[in-house]
Every structure is written in C-alpha cells, then in structure tokens.
C-alpha cells in the first residue's frame, strides 16, 4: 500500500509516450494533426455523435457553445448553482444574466421542476451538469426545452462513457462539452471536447475554434484561401495533447472496469454503516448509469464532513470537499435574485470526495473505509 494516498493520480498506460513521440516525429504538433483526427473518429464512432471538436479545455468548449448560441447582453441562462464556475462563466463573458436553479434534495443534479419555474421570455439557454457522471432527468428537461424552444447545453465534463436510458450523455442537448483534465476518467492533462448535435452549428463551430477563420475549410480544399469570417479564438489543442488522449481512449474499457471496481468496493464497505452514522451514499437513478467518475459521501452536516476530512488527512488520506454554491460566491451574491437554494447550499457543506484513480489498490480502498468508520465511531 502506497502512503500517503493522494486524492488523484494521473493514469499512464504507456502508449501515451509512444504516441507523443510519433506526433513529434511527424513534424506537425500543432492542432488538428493525425492524433486529433484519431480522437475525433474514436469518439464519434463509439457514441454516435454528429460532430466533435477537441478543445484545449472543457471551459473553452463551453465558451464556444456560448458564442454558437449567440448569447447577448441581458439574455438569461438557467444553470445549476452547485457546479464549477466554468459552467456559467462562459455565458457571463457574453453578457448573460445567470438564473441559478437548485439541486434535488437527494442528488446534486439540477431539479427540472426548478427550471420550469425560472423560464421567462428572455431565457436563451438551459445548461445542465451531469454531476459525478450521473445523468440529469433529460426527458423532463428536453420536454421543457421543446415546449419553449430553448437550446440545451450538456456540461458533461465528468460524464464520459455515461448514459441516460441507453443514450450517451452528450448526445441529447444541441451542444455538449467534456473534460479531459487530469482528474477525469480519460485524461490528457488539460483538454476538452465540444459535441455538436445540431447540424446548424457545425460549420460555424469550426470557424470559431480556428480564431474566426475558415481555415478548416481551406485545408479540406473547399475554398481557395482562408480569411477572417467571424469571431473566434484559438480553441484547438496541440496534437501532442491529442496523442496522449488517444492512448487513453484506447484503454477506455480497461480504465472504466477498474474505476467501477473501486467505486463498488467503497459502496459495499460503507453501505452497512451509512444509517448508523447518518451519511448518504451516492444515488444513481434508474434512468442513469454509473461511470465511476467519483465516489463521495453526503455527510449529515458540515461539522461531520470537517471531522472526516481532518481525520483522513492525519491518516495520510487526501479527501476533499467540492463546489461552493455559485449564487453565494463573492462575484455573484449581489447579482443573485435572492431566492433560497437550500439543496445547493446543503451539498456545499456536506459532500466529501474520496481518492479515485486507476492505480488505487483494493488495500488502499479498504484502509480508507476503515478510517472513515473509525472517525465516525469516535465522533458519533
């Protein structure tokens, strides 16, 4: 058993370095090289996405989505409060007013009933986050979107290889985004993906990603020269990043198999004591699959969580809390409309995440669970 036990450890299979060397030897390591196209083809074929574009981060993919939807100053965008700032910052940069919705009482995902109450004539987008890779109630959300003709963006940063009623997450909204940050299931250090499910955005997405130029069309021989035709930025990653990512994608099933083994080992060890100590285990709705992105406990209080994090730290285990409600953030609290979002605030105080990475051993998982029980028994 290695010691101390970190919260995360990036996975290196070995082919990553081989492919990076191959990319360098090819003489082209800028964006849209051989390995970028290999990643695009792999992801499209596996999940039957309409069009995909690698980006330098999920944040950049979200910024592209905001541009594609033509978000203007004063437009309203509905999003969960319990999420990372990138989810909404992309739309704030376009001048949008964020209307925060609350989570479910038993899961951090956005509550569709909240969305329904917040739609106004100024609503221009609904952004949903599949927390921990667990699907939101997409049927309810898409019914609202269709009724009011509002585009849906799936922030699927944590949701690679996760499904809603057999449909891959990322395939349901008109646009979707993924992350390949080193803490995710499949990684490239930094990196992201924009999925374009609505064909009307496909051509413009290429232009926005290439600094507002039609450079991609030029390289395909569709125009005799390229120039500045729209707004945009440099959102495409180096082919070196894509080379690392492609090696990870090749090992997707192996990675997912091991992560699920770890997740279920946590779950089975802690289920017998959950009621005794009051914490809740992760909830997976019937319509969702589990991609084992993270394992967390929903503690009974901030005090219980703080005791647990401190105890695990002293035992050499790095456990961490997660998001802070964005409607209470220093930047946004004066912009918020004053509605109480008690469930988001609860998860702000209650969620503790445990180490989760491919190389985490069974002995280490067992040790973490033993220390959790010791801490809770001493403080109950």
Query: What CATH number does the domain containing 75 carry?
Result: 3.40.640.10
> What pLDDT does residue 9 have?
97
CATH of the domain at 315: 3.90.1150.10
Q: Which tokens belong to 129?
A: 């986050």
Query: Is 229 among the domain residues?
Result: yes
Give kind and range of the element (H or E) at residue 298: strand 296-298
CB 250 within 8 A of CB 46: no
pTM value is 0.96
Chunked in runs of 10, what are the mean pLDDT values of the chain (380 residues)? 88 96 95 96 97 98 98 98 98 98 97 97 98 98 98 98 98 98 98 98 95 81 83 96 98 98 98 98 97 98 98 98 97 95 98 98 98 94
CB 41 within 8 A of CB 47: no
CB 353 within 8 A of CB 377: no
Q: Which tokens belong to 23?
A: 């990319």
> What pLDDT does residue 222 have?
78
Residue with tokens 């017998």: 272
Domain boundary among 190, 225, 250: 250
CB 152 within 8 A of CB 174: yes
CB 10 within 8 A of CB 186: no
CB 101 within 8 A of CB 336: no
Q: Which tokens belong to 200?
A: 């009307």
Three-class SS state of 94:
coil
Q: Do residues 223 and 129 share a domain? A: yes
CB 353 within 8 A of CB 295: yes
Q: Do residues 232 and 270 share a domain? A: no
Q: Do residues 137 and 65 share a domain? A: yes
> What pLDDT does residue 2 have?
64
Q: Do residues 238 and 314 share a domain? A: no
Q: For residues 204 and 195, what is the distance between their CA atoms, to the nearest angstrom?
A: 13
Phi, psi (rounded to 5 degrees) for 158 = -105, 10
CB 260 within 8 A of CB 225: no
Query: Is 2 among the domain residues?
Result: no
Q: Do residues 159 and 259 share a domain? A: no
CB 178 within 8 A of CB 157: yes
Q: Which tokens belong to 312?
A: 């695990």
Q: Which tokens belong to 172?
A: 């349901």
Task: For residue 351, give every residue at least 6 positions away whose Cβ sits within 8 Å of its Cβ, in sequence order, or none.
Answer: 108, 296, 297, 298, 299, 305, 321, 322, 323
Query: Is 161 among the domain residues?
Result: yes
**Please, what's the b/e burial string for 338-350 (b: 16 or more CB within 10 A of its CB; e: otherwise)?**
eeebebbbbbbbb
> What pLDDT does residue 225 have?
77
Task: For residue 63, give every residue at least 6 positions away whose Cβ sits within 8 Å of its Cβ, in sequence order, or none.
Answer: 90, 93, 233, 235
Query: Is 6 among the domain residues?
Result: no
Query: Is 332 among the domain residues?
Result: yes
Q: For residues 373 and 358, what is the distance between their CA atoms, to the nearest angstrom?
A: 24
Q: Do residues 121 and 27 share a domain? A: yes
Q: Do residues 258 and 153 share a domain? A: no
Domain boundary among 205, 222, 250: 250
Q: Do residues 213 and 284 share a domain? A: no
> What pLDDT does residue 215 have?
79
The count of domains in the chain is: 2
Stated length of the chain? 380
The residue range of the domain holding 24 is 15-250
Query: Is 8 among the domain residues?
Result: no
CB 63 within 8 A of CB 81: no
Q: Do residues 73 and 96 share a domain? A: yes
Q: Do residues 214 and 263 share a domain? A: no
Strand 296-298 and strand 351-353: pairing? antiparallel
Q: Do residues 53 and 134 share a domain? A: yes
Q: Do residues 217 and 175 share a domain? A: yes
> What pLDDT does residue 65 have?
98
Task: For residue 183, give every residue at least 6 positions away whose Cβ sits within 8 Å of its Cβ, in sequence order, or none.
Answer: 8
Domain boundary among 184, 215, 250: 250
CA distances from 359 to 11, 154, 364 (A): 7, 29, 10
CB 130 within 8 A of CB 154: yes
Query: Is 10 among the domain residues?
Result: no
């Amino acid at each position: 058993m290695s010691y101390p036990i970190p919260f995360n450890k990036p996975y290196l299979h070995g082919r990553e370095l081989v492919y990076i060397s191959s990319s360098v030897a090819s003489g082209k390591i800028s964006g849209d090289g051989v390995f970028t196209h290999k990643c695009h083809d792999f992801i499209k074929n596996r999940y039957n996405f309409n069009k995909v574009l690698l980006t330098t981060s999920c944040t950049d993919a979200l910024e592209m989505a905001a541009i594609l939807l033509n978000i203007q100053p004063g437009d309203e965008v509905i999003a969960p409060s319990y999420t990372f700032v990138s989810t909404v910052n992309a739309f704030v940069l376009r001048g949008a007013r964020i209307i925060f919705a609350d989570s479910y009482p038993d899961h951090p995902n956005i509550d569709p009933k909240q969305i329904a109450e917040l739609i106004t004539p100024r609503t221009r987008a609904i952004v949903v986050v599949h927390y921990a890779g667990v699907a939101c109630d997409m049927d309810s959300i898409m019914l609202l979107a269709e009724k009011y003709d509002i585009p849906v963006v799936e922030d699927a940063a944590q949701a690679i290889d996760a499904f809603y009623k057999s449909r891959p997450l990322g395939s349901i909204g008109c646009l979707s985004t993924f992350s390949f940050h080193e803490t995710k299931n499949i990684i490239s250090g930094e990196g992201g993906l924009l999925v374009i499910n609505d064909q009307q955005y496909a051509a413009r997405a290429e232009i926005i990603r290439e600094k507002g130029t039609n450079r991609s069309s030029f390289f395909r021989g569709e125009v005799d020269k390229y120039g500045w035709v729209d707004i945009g930025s440099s959102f495409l990653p180096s082919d070196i990043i894509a080379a690392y990512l492609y090696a990870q994608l090749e090992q997707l099933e192996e990675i997912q198999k091991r992560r699920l083994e770890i997740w279920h080992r946590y779950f089975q060890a802690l289920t017998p004591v959950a009621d005794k100590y009051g914490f809740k285990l992760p909830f997976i709705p019937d319509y969702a699959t589990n991609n084992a992105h993270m394992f967390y406990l929903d503690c009974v209080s901030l005090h219980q969580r703080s005791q647990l994090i401190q105890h695990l730290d002293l035992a050499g285990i790095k456990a961490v809390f997660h998001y802070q409600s964005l409607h209470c953030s220093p930047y946004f609290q004066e912009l918020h409309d004053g509605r109480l979002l008690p469930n988001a605030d609860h998860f702000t105080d209650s969620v503790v995440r445990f180490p989760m990475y491919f190389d985490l051993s069974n002995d280490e998982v067992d040790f973490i669970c033993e220390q959790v029980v010791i801490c809770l028994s001493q403080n109950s």
